[in-house]
Amino acid sequence: MAGLQVTLGISTLLSYVPVGLGTAHQAGALTLFTLMILLNHIVRKPSPSLLKSLPQVAKTI
């Protein structure tokens, strides 16, 4: 996705920014940003305080 975003940006600048290409570039930026937030959420390490509280949560269930 990042490679596509770079390609769209360069193409946009080289062709004097047609509206369709500029819009695609902005949509790509939004998609890339969303994917990076999702990836950060998936691979984030849990905090030590959360890990300590897990045995207590399991006992209450």
Show the CA angle centred on residue 18, arms to residues 24 and 35, nearest 5°.
Answer: 15
The number of folded domains in the chain is 1
Domain that holds residue 14: 2-60
Q: How far apart are CA 6 and CA 25, in angstroms?
A: 9
pLDDT in tens, the chain (61 residues): 888 888 888 887 887 777 888 888 889 889 999 999 999 988 888 778 877 777 766 666 5
pTM of the model: 0.56
For 22-39, the pLDDT digits (tens) are 888 889 889 999 999 999
